[in-house]
């Protein structure tokens, strides 16, 4: 049987995914506005790398 926390996560999984996608899209748009001739592939890699770093930092902060 799933733990209550896992059941709760199931109820919010799609929202979490959408929130992270929206965060990435927010910064993709900002990069595009600031640098019209941007290398989108490079910008995407940089943005995603920074999101991963932020998640790693948050994990350390929350879980010790």
Task: Determine the Cα–Cα distance for residues 40 and 29; give it in Å rounded to an integer.
Answer: 10
Phi-psi region of 3 (alpha: psi -120 to 50; beta: other; left: phi over 0): beta
- The string of pLDDT tens digits covering residues 43-62 is 999 999 999 999 999 999 99
Q: How far is CA 15 from the centre of its chain?
A: 12
Model pLDDT for residues 6-56, shown as the tens digit of each residue: 999 999 999 999 999 999 999 999 998 888 899 999 999 999 999 999 999
Q: Residue 1 pLDDT > 70, yes or no?
A: no
């Amino acid at each position: 049987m799933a733990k209550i926390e896992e059941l709760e996560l199931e109820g919010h999984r799609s929202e979490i995914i959408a929130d992270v996608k929206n965060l990435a899209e927010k910064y993709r748009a900002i990069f595009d506005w600031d640098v019209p001739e941007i290398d989108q592939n490079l910008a995407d890699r940089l943005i995603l790398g920074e999101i991963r770093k932020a998640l790693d930092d948050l994990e350390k902060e929350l879980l010790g």
